[in-house]
Amino acid sequence: MQSEYQIEIPKDENNYTHRVCPKCSYRFGVRSGPFPDNLHCPYCSEASELSDYNTPEQIEYATEEAKNLIFYGVQKDFQSMMKRTALRSKHMTFKSSPIRKKYTFPPQQSQIPTDMICSSCESEYVIFGISAMCPYCGREDVKILDANLAIIENELNSDRELRRTYIDVVTAFQNECQYFAEDAKGVKFQNIDSVVKHFRKSSVDILEGVDEQNLLDMRTVFEKRHAGQHRNGTYDQKYVDALGLDPSLIGQKVSYSKDELVSAVKALVTVINNLRSKHRK
């Protein structure tokens, strides 16, 4: 009997092996090595060893495969032993039957993939949401930010939960502004006013040309995201004060709107264009 078994984790149809961050639990995929000592989460920047990024489905798959291989080995050893015993006996015969290995279903794969090639190290990987950096070299890449916008646009035309897309809009804003920010200590990148104040120090108005209604809708998306993440999905005093709304909303469930999101994304696109045209790295 073997004491060690090497289990190969199945890849998806595009030859990616899926990974999950041990810190933020978001998923991504990597195509091939050589891998660095630490892999970087493209979402939260956590750096951990490759084995720390195995998904729960992969661990379950590997465990079942190992059980199958052990059982298969036991059957083979048992049949070999019975054959030897039968050969030494005048009164015993043994007829072996086919040894069957149980099929193990491959790990569940993630949805909504976006293929990426890092412009710094040229490694190939896939993301399944809003991200900021290459998992191989850990560098931020403006191409990822372009992919973020494409993901949001796809979500607006799909049946995916609107609440999830609200979060993605805020994350895309945060990633883009962090990419172009310099000396950003103390900046709250999920707060529009904090970011506006920071870039004005370098004479960059990220809100230049942003439609008033689009800006209001983007602020609303930010506040609803906050309520959804930190206030159990209900309007609170902070939400009412930030947007100047009727206090009677406090305690009610947050509502989500595709039209509001479309308007907010228009503001986001203008902000991104301002950053890229006036504050290029």
Axis crossing angle, helix 258-278 with helix 142-156, rounded to the nearest 10: 160
pLDDT at 195 over 50: yes
Residues 223-249, mean pLDDT to the nearest whole number: 84
Residue 69 is predicted with a pLDDT of: 77
What percentage of the chain has pLDDT greater than the value 90?
Answer: 14
What percentage of the chain has pLDDT greater than the value 70?
Answer: 81
Residue 230 belongs to what H/E stretch? helix 212-230
- Of residues 208 and 86, the one with the higher pLDDT is 208
- Which pTM value belongs to this model? 0.60
- Residue 194's pLDDT band (boundaries 50, 70, 90)? very high
pLDDT at 254 over 90: no
- Residue 177's pLDDT band (boundaries 50, 70, 90)? confident
Of the given ranges (3-17, 83-97, 111-125, 267-281), which has the lowest mean pLDDT? Answer: 83-97
Say how far apart CA 70 and CA 148 lie, in whole Å.
45
* Count of C-beta atoms within a 10 Å radius of residue 77: 11
Residues 46-70, mean pLDDT to the nearest whole number: 87
Residue where the block lists tokens 């949805």: 111
- Residue 250's pLDDT band (boundaries 50, 70, 90)? confident
- Of residues 55 and 7, the one with the higher pLDDT is 55
Residues 122-137, mean pLDDT to the nearest whole number: 82
Rounded alpha-carbon distances, angstroms, from residue 176 to 105, 199, 214: 39, 12, 18
- Of residues 147 and 3, the one with the higher pLDDT is 147
10 Å CB burial of residue 183 (0-12, 13-18, 19+) is exposed
Q: Where are the domains of the chain?
A: 160-278
